[in-house]
Amino acid sequence: MRVLHTSDWHIGRTLYGRKRYEEFEAFLTWLAETIQQNEIDALLVAGDVFDTSAPSNRAQELYYRFLCRVAASSCRHIVVVAGNHDSPSFLNAPKELLKALDVHVVGSSTASPEDEVLVLRNERDAPELIVCAVPYLRDRDIRVAEAGESVEDKERKLIDGIRTHYAAVAALAEQKREELGADIPIVGTGHLFTAGGQTVDGDGVRAWF
């Protein structure tokens, strides 16, 4: 099974005030062609599909046109999780409709981590891949605010909450594989950023540490 991972499209982002829809369209066309040429079976999109929580009509058109094109190709599955730039409710809104195209959208974390463990099946309804599809975890998803806590306490609880959440989803994926009774591959994906990172500029290169 061939899997292609991509993320951070930021459709709709401008550069010094200049709209770049032609660039985004060219990229998505190239990506769709790459999927077809390499006979990709599953496409995983790990967040930041759009650049803002309220994407323009043009940005939405590019996104949905791309999904329809890939769904009509040899690619059997598309999994999309939300990033920190995406609106969870916006991405989730058409998820039931998109299921008809084998497009699986996880826009936000829910009370049940099992919603983030997807069993992808082939045309014979046999399971062929398990995906841990973890969206960007917001503070409210994994931490309960308490009066009097310090900034350090908040950051520690946030990191612990993220670690616990990912561990729970991974454990459920392993359990699901045992229940299915087959040696099915498990792929984990999510959307994170570095806590306490610093940027260093030099020789035209910006690096994260």
pLDDT, tens digit (0-9, with 9 covering 90-100), for 50-83: 999 999 999 999 999 999 999 999 999 999 999 9
Task: Kindly state whether residue 69 falls inside one of the protein's structural domains.
Answer: yes
Task: Kindly state whether residue 203 falls inside one of the protein's structural domains.
Answer: no
Task: Kindly state whether residue 45 falls inside one of the protein's structural domains.
Answer: yes
Task: Kindly state whether residue 162 falls inside one of the protein's structural domains.
Answer: yes
What band does 208 get if pLDDT is binned at 50, 70 and 90? very low
Q: What range does the domain containing 176 cover?
A: 3-195
**pLDDT higher than 80, residue 144:** no
Task: Kindly state whether residue 153 falls inside one of the protein's structural domains.
Answer: yes
**pLDDT higher than 80, residue 179:** yes
Nearest C-alpha neighbor of 74 from the set 44, 33, 36, 100: 36
Residue type for 118, please?
Answer: L
Which tokens is 161 given?
């909450």
**pLDDT higher than 80, residue 209:** no
Please list the residues that pair with 5 across neighbouring strands: 44
Task: Kindly state whether residue 95 falls inside one of the protein's structural domains.
Answer: yes
Q: What pLDDT score does 202 carry?
A: 52
CA 105, 111, 114 angle in degrees (round to 5)?
A: 60
Task: Kindly state whether residue 200 falls inside one of the protein's structural domains.
Answer: no
Q: What is the CATH number of the domain that holds 171?
A: 3.60.21.10
User: What is the number of structural domains in the chain?
Assistant: 1
Task: Kindly state whether residue 132 falls inside one of the protein's structural domains.
Answer: yes
pLDDT, tens digit (0-9, with 9 covering 90-100), for 38-50: 999 999 999 999 9
